[in-house]
Amino acid sequence: MSPGQGACATILQVAAEQKDYERMALAIAGRARSGFALVAIDGTGGSGKSTLAAALARHLSRAGRTAIVHGDDFYRPMAAPERLLLSPREGYDQYFDWQRLRDQVLAPLAAGQPARYQRYDWPAGQLAAGEPQHLSPSGTVLVEGVYTARPELAHFYDLTILVDTPRDVCLRRLRQRGHDHGPGNWIERWRAAEDHYLAATSPASRLDMTVTGL
């Protein structure tokens, strides 16, 4: 590819991304209730959920307040040997404490009430000490992370978005990050749980929107 072709491809990509942001912003505005919208950004590990959430938050900031809740903050504290024994179905259900996400964040916000929650401290392997995070039911709250739009939670959101990225790209990104999420081959176990989620709940057919990962 020549330098000119590369620049052209970059311009086209930026234009496509901007169009996606506008499409999501319009959808959020159309679903907002009393000036507030609760939005899920779901997708497999390495698909670009965090990147999309940050970019969308910047785009939405022109119209009002936007906050981001990271699904990683709801990783479930668990002993390493216990985590190693989880089947793909059990991993899908137990890697993240979706009940805590529901009770501390989604249910209060969906009811028009303020929310507060503790983040998971990854280096310490436990919930972080100190002051909890606070959220108000105003503007837009983006909840990004795999499983955040699982069937038990989807009804709390005004809009659900799936980030669709080729699995080989996701795998390369996971390996490049070099994180260690437990004993054994954690990437293999992690992806097996995600594959169970995709097969059992079909996010592509039930979430409101699908966008290409960045």
Boundaries of every domain in the chain: 3-212
Q: What is the reported pLDDT for 10?
A: 33
**11-55 pLDDT, tens per residue?**
324 444 678 889 999 999 999 999 899 999 999 999 999 999 999
- pLDDT grade for 3, boundaries at 50, 70 and 90: very low
- Rounded to the nearest integer, the mean pLDDT of the chain is 88
Euclidean distance between CA atoms 93 and 156, whole angstroms? 18
Q: What is the mean pLDDT of residues 67-73?
A: 97
16-25, 58-67, 178-187: which is most confident: 58-67
Euclidean distance between CA atoms 210 and 18, whole angstroms? 15
> What Cα–Cα distance (Å) separates residue 62 from each residue in 43, 54, 56, 59, 127?
26, 14, 11, 6, 33
Four-way CATH pick for 3-212: 3.30.70.20, 3.40.50.300, 3.40.1190.20, 3.40.50.970: 3.40.50.300
Is a pLDDT exceeding 70 seen at residue 180? no
Backbone angles phi, psi at 31, to 5 degrees: -100, -10
Q: What is the reported pLDDT for 182?
A: 58
Alpha carbon of residue 44 to chain centroid: 9
**97-117 pLDDT, tens per residue?**
999 999 999 999 999 999 999
- pLDDT grade for 214, boundaries at 50, 70 and 90: low
Q: What is the mean pLDDT of residues 1-6?
A: 43
Q: What is the reported pLDDT for 2?
A: 42
**143-156 pLDDT, tens per residue?**
999 999 999 999 99
Tell which residue, 82, 52, 86, 91, has the closest CA to residue 70. Answer: 52
Higher pLDDT, residue 173 or 204: 204
Q: What is the reported pLDDT for 6?
A: 41
Tell which residue, 160, 185, 179, has the closest CA to residue 43. Answer: 160
Q: What is the mean pLDDT of residues 156-178?
A: 89
Cα-Cα end-to-end distance for the chain = 21
The DSSP letter of residue 130 is: S
- pLDDT grade for 213, boundaries at 50, 70 and 90: confident
Is a pLDDT exceeding 80 seen at residue 179? no
